[in-house]
Structure 1
């Protein structure tokens, strides 16, 4: 609202005084700074509430000025000023829109990293490489997906689902450019162990019920359907756990998985996977064991039934393993010198074995196991039955931790190699969303694979765009080629798995490196490996983490303590044991404790300081008290020598008679039995002396004197010599305290707790 000058003049002429004048200019940034008395280029000197109050008062004064001289002298708003003001408003609105769009774009780039990838994507230099790498990895997905589905005790088609859907979702949310998402040996093994345990409990419940199969639900009777339901529920649980960890920014928990523990666990898992495939290579039909001691029980069953091995299956497995091993160890390195595109030998083996199995009818004539029906197309999505995981949330947590630890480790390796950054928390969210959404499409938990990721890099893959072409190939296989894999021999897929485990077994070489470097690291590796192999995968992981933590605690429990001395002509203090030219001062001790001072190592700190200084206050206090008590006892004994000696015979006789009276009135016969002489043999005692009754009732004043005989001169000399020796020992103890000042170098400390503070007080 605005009052014109003509209206003002007419109002004043009519005697009407306007009370206020309303001018509503825009609160621009310059006005804001002017009102707040705030310099943009310097830090604010006033607190927030003061600046807010100044802004409010200044705005009120400018918008609603009182009828004072300020009103009469206010400037007129010209048309040029209105035009410039409207122009500033338009510019201000445009800046606001640009600011909002800028932050919106940054937010979208952070949530969906693929937008940044596409925004900066170089078609000419990257597209062809991503196409080649994508199809190459897609070809690997087919045999590995079906093979690792067998490890997870699921039909092969679900391995293809797990290779397709998680990789597709990860493309939109992942920050790593070079990892391949899908099936992986460790996660597949964990899934298989979990499903075996579930089926075992279901069979046990069925036996406990003792009813016919018609009275049991279809989920209990249809074991394959039950496995699929639990696998999808496990995938959903794993995804939710990973997503929550990402939201809570718990990506740093992966750091607690030490390299020795991870290496030992990986080799132990490789032994489990190898053992699970031996029976397929031999053509034996053996039950799967669940729980602890799985590997020993499996090998016992294998050797008991070794005579029933299927010879055609064994021969076919040997041929496949030989071809794969020879190609990957001898031929592939030479081929890679001439071409970056590797030959898909795994897929070639699957195709050739399928053709041989089909035309020779290996299943019908020689009883060679085949994978069976592979459904065509993609099944309809289904909501996972989350209620199944109520009692198995621990399995979901362990699987989630292992899957994300392996994946993030691979992501960091390739990010370091190709000089880009990954966000651990975003990776957690990406894997969580991938597993959660994929679980609706009948998948089991997915993770990154080292072998496929290495092939992706060697084939020239640049970005996650390559995963789109891998998914395209998998769609073609699922929709058109899947049923053709009906006659694929199971032993062929097991051979692919066994050869792929070579890289995991080679990590056993790390034990030698750890042994040379640190005994603690080698013990962590060995204990984790043994627990994983002989107990189970879950116990191996749990005990591995515990052993790793204990190794850190034990190493920090006994840190080194060094005595420092001054280097001549400098102000540098160094370890006196390492540098012989260091100078130490008699009255000053400088000690450096190379570790944190907390409750675990507090006692060691105190004892180490006492040992280095050679002064133990507790020991010295005990020794001094011991010597002082001995001196007091000697002085007390010497007091007996200073008492007046009694040599009078009559006095001694009177004392003896007093003792006799104190014992009570005796008969004369009793008195006759008294000795004729005193103990010293000086004279006879008086017999039958009648003493007053009051005297007999009095306490003997020399009772204490008679109980402790007076010292002889020889005994006195011995006590004085002993006293001098003890006094000399006290003097030596006093001389042992050579220093007066104790300086503790705390530069190595990062924290100290209350127990450490108490120990520090005791030392000081």
Structure 2
């Protein structure tokens, strides 16, 4: 009759701690598999499968059109009032921001209002984020502006923007089709932070001329930011003092509101003061009263058309020349939108569909192509306001669009005499959240020097060279960092904590003690064709034995290591090249009369090694074990019997409730030293 696992309470030196002793047999891997009915047949995938087997038209429809899932479940009593308040507030913010960001894109201010209306209606149908406020965004606008300026004098600005939108939309749709959303993880936090901070410097640089009332020479290509600042410093004496005074006054009012008034008002009223709109309206009234454009040479917005823009197809011939620019901006807009969407999805306990966001952006940009819109992106500042004012669902965007349609039909011409320096001031103050990301460099430096280097290199490339080069540098370094980390995994020697089954890093845990004549090596990461050489060198370095060299020449000194246990519990993947390298290393150690045991390998790793014919050796010089403790026990079995006891807090006993009775032919006696 097999003996069951024995579970009993015992005392602990600390009277306040209760422990549980579990006695069990130790196993070799094949015995463990047999005893617990191991079966890997479910993991064997069919080589050929029917691609339509899992196709279901209704599921596909719900996936492509998320509105069909959430709108029927909309709670009018709970959500409608909150969505209306948030939508009204965000709609008001769209007016000054849209006009300002349109100027960044080198297009008329009304284009920013178009962008906050037509594409947003499409995103309402396809998008999965409840809180991301779509429309214009500073980084995307300045990237578009560079493309527009490059073709100035050859094509009309709106022809360039429309052609760029269709290219971006097509790229988003293609990326949706190839499931590119899963690759968004390649854009690390360090890359996004460094890139957006550098882009914020570019946005600030583009607005300085309007703040000072200075006209600068347009610089196309590389080193634009550096050259603009050089020219600006030379032209400071020609500053328009009235324009500069309006800029200082506007920035001061906006900063005082954001830092002092806004926090106090938020405690008294849910809806924040629309200070940006107040600044725009006040500036327009002052400009009309004092006739700033005529009397003081202050630059104003100019003509703003009313009504809905005419349906205008893009210039497909021009689109062929914008493929590279369209791809870069498409990736950046997707990255920014998804980053913002994920941030608010986590804080509000829901998930977004990364791949569906590509379809939403693609459809929105293609729609915007025909209605004179800028490329679409989410805005962090508007999204924050949308959350703070209680927005709950995508219906918020419909409310904001209803505000904007009034501007398009009737209110637009009112802002024709608005000074551009006020819009520039609004943009500069809104950049604060991006500019303070400079502190992220020091945070990354304390966490990971490699991430800090990625941040700094991306930032400097954006500021000194150009935005597209900076993005390329960041992506290359991020991918390279993944390779570097995989080639330099965490390895250490493990020691045994007496009277437990714990094996810990001897450099970090002083209580862990090395076992005489046994070396236990922990390897974390993956073992593949790229990392196999490093695996060999790290393992030999840890145990102090160069197996490859010693097998070629007779050892000059006796080797005091009889067994090496390799802990593969943290090995995530091994390929055939890695298995072959491991097999060669095992043979080298065996020639030195050193046994090698592998412990804790996960099922996929174990199965790969077995498929590559890495099997237990009959003479016991190589074997697999389910845990380090089993391997240690086997290594010492012929010398002395040791206890196999695991101590578990007694509060976990209620969660166990299982007596495992192993077959009698694998049960071993358990005795103390």
Same fold, TM exceeding 0.5? yes
3-state secondary structure, aligned to 1:444: coil
1:671-750 correspondence runs (5 A): 733-750=555-572
For structure 1, the 5+ residue unaligned runs are 1-102, 203-219, 625-732
1:347-426 correspondence runs (5 A): 347-426=277-356
| Paired residues of 2:523 and 2:567 also in contact (CA < 8 A) | yes
Aligned to 1:198: 151
* 1:752 matched to 2:562: no
| Paired residues of 2:548 and 2:585 also in contact (CA < 8 A) | no
Deviations 1:520-550 (A, max 9, x none): 2211211111111111111111111111222
* 1:762 matched to 2:580: no
* 1:455 matched to 2:385: yes
In 2, the alpha carbon distance for the partners of 1:582 and 1:422 equals 45
Deviating more after overlay: 388-397 vs 586-595: 586-595
* CA gap 1:145/1:595 in 2 versus in 1, 3 angstroms: same
Deviations 1:251-283 (A, max 9, x none): 111111111111111110110000000011011
3-state secondary structure, aligned to 1:154: coil
1:253-292 correspondence runs (5 A): 253-292=183-222
Aligned to 1:118: 71
Match for 1:172 among 113, 119, 125? Answer: 125
Q: Which has the higher helix share?
A: 1
In 1, the alpha carbon distance for the partners of 2:512 and 2:428 equals 61
In 1, the alpha carbon distance for the partners of 2:262 and 2:340 equals 23
In 1, the alpha carbon distance for the partners of 2:522 and 2:70 equals 52
Aligned to 2:173: 243
Aligned to 1:71: none
Greater RCO between the two (CA within 8 Å, min separation 6)? 2
Aligned to 1:682: none
Aligned to 1:701: none
In 1, the alpha carbon distance for the partners of 2:277 and 2:551 equals 81
* 1:615 matched to 2:554: no
In 1, the alpha carbon distance for the partners of 2:393 and 2:404 equals 19
3-state secondary structure, aligned to 2:369: helix
In 2, the alpha carbon distance for the partners of 1:125 and 1:599 equals 57
Match for 1:503 among 426, 429, 433? Answer: 433
Aligned to 2:654: none
In 1, the alpha carbon distance for the partners of 2:110 and 2:391 equals 26
* CA gap 1:560/1:472 in 2 versus in 1, 3 angstroms: closer
* 1:516 matched to 2:446: yes
Deviations 1:574-605 (A, max 9, x none): 33334455454554433222221223332222
* 1:309 matched to 2:239: yes
* 1:575 matched to 2:505: yes
* 1:297 matched to 2:250: no
Aligned to 2:110: 157
In 2, the alpha carbon distance for the partners of 1:609 and 1:109 equals 52
* CA gap 1:133/1:564 in 2 versus in 1, 3 angstroms: closer
User: Matched residue pairs, number?
Assistant: 531
Match for 1:187 among 122, 132, 140? Answer: 140
Match for 1:325 among 255, 262, 266? Answer: 255
| Paired residues of 2:114 and 2:373 also in contact (CA < 8 A) | yes
In 2, the alpha carbon distance for the partners of 1:129 and 1:176 equals 16
* 1:231 matched to 2:53: no
Aligned to 1:474: 404
In 1, the alpha carbon distance for the partners of 2:480 and 2:285 equals 55
In 2, the alpha carbon distance for the partners of 1:458 and 1:146 equals 23
For structure 2, the 5+ residue unaligned runs are 1-55, 587-673
Deviations 1:709-755 (A, max 9, x none): xxxxxxxxxxxxxxxxxxxxxxxx35333334333222221222344
Aligned to 2:475: 545
Aligned-residue offset at 1:448: 0.8
In 1, the alpha carbon distance for the partners of 2:347 and 2:525 equals 34
Aligned-residue offset at 1:468: 1.2
3-state secondary structure, aligned to 1:745: strand
3-state secondary structure, aligned to 2:99: helix
Deviating more after overlay: 587-596 vs 454-463: 587-596
